[in-house]
Every structure is written in structure tokens, then in C-alpha cells.
Amino acid sequence: MAGTGRAALHDDAVLRVVDLVVEYPLDRKNVVHAVSGVTFDIQKGTTLGIVGESGCGKTTVGRAIMQLERPTSGSVELDGADVTQMTRRELRAARRSMQMIFQDPVSSLNPSRRVKDLVREGLEVWGLSEADMPPGRIDDLMASVGLGGPAVGERRPHEFSGGQCQRIRIARALVTDPEVLILDEPASALDVSVQAQILNLLEDLKEEFGLTMLFISHDLAVVRNVSDRVMVMYLGKVCEIAPNSSLFDQPTHPYTRALLASIPGHQLDLPPAAELISGEIPSPIDPPSGCRFRTRCPHATERCAAEEPTLVETSPGHFTACHYPHH
């Protein structure tokens, strides 16, 4: 399971992450290997979905792109400029074109402030005021996310439901007119009917504002719905990265197959999950050598322990990091 392959990169990417490594020192001896050499990119106007179970490092990738966690090594290029090398001032400027939406909509909003101020803040951070924007910009934005109406801005976050809070968050992120939107489980805390509203809204906004999106989720069905390309992660590494349909129709990595087979009531042509995966996820403090999935993989051989697989193209645009990919 390696991220060491750069084969999957495009020339015309808006966001490019190369060999990203994030490690946290635990104490003097131990290090948590949260993300271990992840490489991918996103083309303009498309959505990349990242899926994986807890502990796979998908959230850390998002935070590291935003520089909320400083990467241990690797680069994050936004329109060709490496944000990991930027000065604080440059970084602040770069953040204007990258925005992130977090999972919990309620705790993402400062409870003591009015909605209008929260949305406007996105501007103020840049030393702009409403006057620098086309007139009615904030009202338009509020309407775009489905929160029209005069009195809405005067209220405080706790007066809104979870779905509405997420809409406020989205409006707030869009006010600086960002290029890239990183969404970390944006609908996971919401009920299905509300989740559908948010997912539809995101699709509309992507169209309207020409957004490039990184969509992080544990929910395969949601990722299936919103993504153009999908990347599967396991224990800090990339397993497979492929166009949406290709990944779901012909998964080649054993872990991807296990993940898909675990979806309750799926209609895919896969053996029972119990035959595809066993045991428990190893500790990120001391990850397995070679392929990180080998300890749970039914096909693992000695080669998997000795040699780390790199991403190879198995079909057009479909890359897998496995010595024995499924065909």
C-alpha cells in the first residue's frame, strides 16, 4: 500500500499534493504515522472523494492541506505555489482561495455571534468590508445556500438546525470566493433527508461558482454520489485512486473490495466481506512493513511484507497500489 507512485498525477491540476507525510510525536520514542506519503491531485471543477475508515488519515490529509497541521514533509501546491513553503503572510493570502468545511456544523460556529457577522467575517479577515464587494453579495450568498429572508442574519447559531448551520458554514466559506473547497464529512452529522439537501446544494454551488472540491467521507454511498474521482485510504496510505464508476464497478485493491463488500445490502458482485478482510487495524504507531494492509489481506505473501507496492495503472485512469490486484 504505497503512496509513492506519482503515476496518477495530471498536468492541469488546481491542487496537487505530493508525498505528504504527517507524523505526530507521541513521546520520546514513538511517532504516530498519520499520513505516510500521499500523492494525488484534483483537476479544476472536479470533485475528488477520499474514503476510508477511522484512522486511515483522510481527515489529516484535509487539515494538512489547509496547513492546520504542519506536514512533516511533502508539498501541497495550489495553482503551482507550494503552500508548505509559504511565509505566514503568504499563507494567509493563500487560504483565501482554499476553504474547509468541518463535520460538526454546530460547533463550527461561534455560539456568541450573529449569523450575519459570521458570514461577513470571511471578508473582514482579509481586511475587506461589504463595501468592497458587489452590493448585496452577502444576501445573494445567503440566498444561494437557501437561507434567504431578512431576519436570518440577525439570529444566532443555536436558533438553527444542524442542516441550516451547515448552510451558514458553506455561505461563510464561499464569501471569499475560494477556488478549492475541502469538505470533511460535511453531511455525516445530519439526518438523511437533510443530508440530501446539503449534497444537492453542494452540487449546485460547484456548478455556480466553478468550485474544485475535496470531499472526505466514510460513507461510500455519499462519495459515490458526489465524486468524479475517488481515492481509498488505509492506515495513512493510498490504496487505490480511480474514476468514480471504475472504482465502484471494478475495484482492484483487496482493501477497496473489502470496504465495498461491507456495505450493508449492496448489489455489487463481491464475495462476503468476511472472506476479504480479517483481524483489526494495526496501530499507526508501529505500522506493518511493506504493504500496510498485508496483516489483514487474504492474498498477502512474503513479498507484501518485504516490498512496498507503488501505484500502477490497471486500466485507463485507474491506479492501484497492490502487488496482486484483482482483475
Partner 1 sequence: MAPVDATAVLNDVGERAAVSPSADIASTGASQSTPPPRALGVTFWLAAGWIAVLLFVAVFADLLPVRDPDALGIRTREVEKFERPGWNAPFGGDGVGHDQFARVIAGTRPALIIGISVTLIGGLIGMAVGLASGYLRGKLDAVSALLIDMALAFPGLVLVIAVRAAFGNSIYVFVALFSVASVPAYARIVRGATLSLSERAFVDVAQAMGASKLRILWRELAPNIAVPALAFAFIGFALVIVAEGGLAFVGLSLDQITWGQLIADGTGEINEHPHVSLIPATVMFLTILSFNLVGDGIRSHFAPREVATRRRFRTEGPPSPSSGGSTLRVDQLRTTLHTQSGDVRVVDDVSFELDAGDCLAIVGESGSGKTMMLRSIVGAFALADVTRSGTVEVEGTDMLRIAPDELRSVLGSHIGMVPQNPLTALNPVRRIETQIIEPMRAHRSISKSQARAEALELMQHVGIPDPERRLRDYPHQLSGGMRQRITIAIALANQPKLLLADEPTTALDVTVQDQILRLLLGLQRDLEMAMILVTHDLAVVRGFADRVAIAYGGQLVESGTIERIFNDPKHRYTAALLSSVPDLELEPHSRLVTIEGQPPPLIDPSPGCRFAPRCPAATDLCHTTEPERTDDEDRWFRCHFPVTGDAEIETAGSRSTRPADAIRAETQGVN
At its nearest, how many Å lie between partner 1 and the CB of residue 304?
A: 19
At its nearest, how many Å lie between partner 1 and the CB of residue 6?
A: 26
Asked if residue 172 lies in contact with residue 7, where contact means CB atoms within 8 angstroms, the answer is no
Interface with partner 1, residue 265, by CB under 8 A: yes
Binds partner 1 (CB under 8 A): choice among 72, 75, 84, 108: 108
Interface with partner 1, residue 244, by CB under 8 A: yes
Interface with partner 1, residue 263, by CB under 8 A: yes
Binds partner 1 (CB under 8 A): choice among 172, 253, 292, 318: 172
Binds partner 1 (CB under 8 A): choice among 30, 73, 245, 315: 245
Asked if residue 76 lies in contact with residue 83, where contact means CB atoms within 8 angstroms, the answer is yes
- Cβ neighbors of 20 (< 8 A, separation 6 or more) are 3, 35, 37, 38, 39, 61, 64, 71, 73, 74, 75, 76
Residue 274 or 306: which CB sits closer to partner 1? Answer: 274
By CB under 8 A, the count of residues binding partner 1 is 74
Interface with partner 1, residue 225, by CB under 8 A: yes
Distance in angstroms (rounded) separating the CA atoms of residues 76 and 112: 34
116-135 residues near partner 1, rule: CB under 8 A:
121-122, 125-126
Residue 14 or 165: which CB sits closer to partner 1? Answer: 165
292-321 residues near partner 1, rule: CB under 8 A:
none
Nearest to residue 288, comparing CAs of 233, 237, 232? 237
- End-to-end alpha-carbon separation of the chain, Å? 17
Residue 47 or 310: which CB sits closer to partner 1? Answer: 47
Q: Which three cell numbers stand for residue 88?
A: 505566514
At its nearest, how many Å lie between partner 1 and the CB of residue 102?
A: 5
Interface with partner 1, residue 202, by CB under 8 A: no
Segment contacting partner 1 by CB under 8 A, of 15-23, 27-35, 62-70, 134-142: 62-70
Q: Which residue has the cell 513553503?
A: 85
Interface with partner 1, residue 191, by CB under 8 A: yes
CB atoms within 10 A of CB 90: 12
At its nearest, how many Å lie between partner 1 and the CB of residue 41?
A: 19
212: helix, strand or coil = strand
- What are 21's strand-pairing partners? 36, 73
At its nearest, how many Å lie between partner 1 and the CB of residue 227?
A: 7
Interface with partner 1, residue 177, by CB under 8 A: no
Binds partner 1 (CB under 8 A): choice among 53, 82, 130, 140: 53
Give 65-73's long-range contacts (Cβ < 8 A, gap of 24+): 65/15, 65/17, 65/98, 65/182, 65/214, 66/95, 66/98, 66/100, 66/182, 67/91, 67/95, 68/100, 69/22, 71/20, 71/21, 71/22, 71/35, 72/21, 72/22, 72/23, 73/19, 73/20, 73/21
Interface with partner 1, residue 31, by CB under 8 A: no
At its nearest, how many Å lie between partner 1 and the CB of residue 307?
A: 25
Residue type at 300 in one-letter notation: A
Residue 18 or 123: which CB sits closer to partner 1? Answer: 123
